[in-house]
Amino acid sequence: MFSGALNNGCLFIWPDIYQKLWLGMYMMKVSRFVLSAAVFSVMMGASGVSVAGVSVNLGVASQYYFRGVQQTTGAAAQGGVDYTHDSGLHAGVWGSNVGGHEVADPASADDDPLGIEVDYYFGYRGKLKDFSYDAGYTLYTYTGDFDTQYSEINLGAGYGMFGFEFSAGTHDVPNGVDEDYTFTALSFEYEGIAATYGVWGNDFDGAYFELGYVHEMNEIEFGISLINGDAENNIKNVATDGTALVITIGKEFDL
């Protein structure tokens, strides 16, 4: 989710609006990669409970952002496998390449460590008329020296076009004190247009706003997202400052 430079406050960094309802929570990365996790989550939440079975998702993104934090400076190849039961229980695994030139420190001329992010998640989701809800757990892991693992409890809710997510997690800091953080997001989706505002809390700081659009053509999803980070001037900041335009292409297969 973040780069090792996170501890220095010069961040770099997140599907599944609830990518990646995951209303911006783990579903955002989990369910898909199109747009950022937050944007897709809202769309998932608005659609209700997923059909039972196993599905595979594959895609590419011009850049990988998660919850307003930049994960790559170049293209990212992403994909995952999800299982959903009729009861509402669901689980899956999702992965993406991470790192690249100047992701953690724009002032540096050195490349950041390259690696693979692999996320594991499970939870339960349901729907009562126009109200949808989701509760689950997500573990973010990384290969190489890009970052260390994060573990989260995720809660999400949606009503009509609106979504809400709250996640509380811990960042494993080797030979140091682990960092506890929260992430809260409000989302809105209408006719493929989605907007998300997310805020970090506790040991992390920073916020971002994302506006995106997803269009499906020939069973392939095309997405475009504008992400604006509001970085705080302190060592707790994780949000990537500035504005980024992200383009995504993805497809999901039912097995």
Q: What tokens appear for 178 in the block?
A: 């682990």
On whether the CB atoms of residues 10 and 104 are closer than 8 A, the answer is yes
Residue closest to 34 by CA, chosen among 158, 240, 168, 217: 217
* Segment 94-113, tens digit of pLDDT: 999 998 755 655 555 556 67
Say how many C-beta atoms besides its own lie within 10 A of residue 98's C-beta.
28
pLDDT of residue 28 exceeding 90: no
Weakest-pLDDT range from 21-25, 69-73, 173-177, 224-228: 21-25
Summary mean pLDDT of the chain? 82
Return the higher-pLDDT residue of 206 and 8.
206
* Segment 130-162, tens digit of pLDDT: 899 999 999 999 998 889 999 999 999 999 999
Q: Given the structure tokens 């309802």, which residue do they identify?
A: 21
CA 15 to chain centre: 4
Partners of 23 in beta bridges = none
Residue closest to 26 by CA, chosen among 87, 98, 88, 91: 91
Note the residue count of the chain.
Answer: 255
On whether the CB atoms of residues 95 and 78 are closer than 8 A, the answer is yes
pLDDT bin (cut points 50, 70, 90) of residue 20 is very low
State mean pLDDT over 199-203: 97
| CATH C-level class of 4-254 | mainly beta
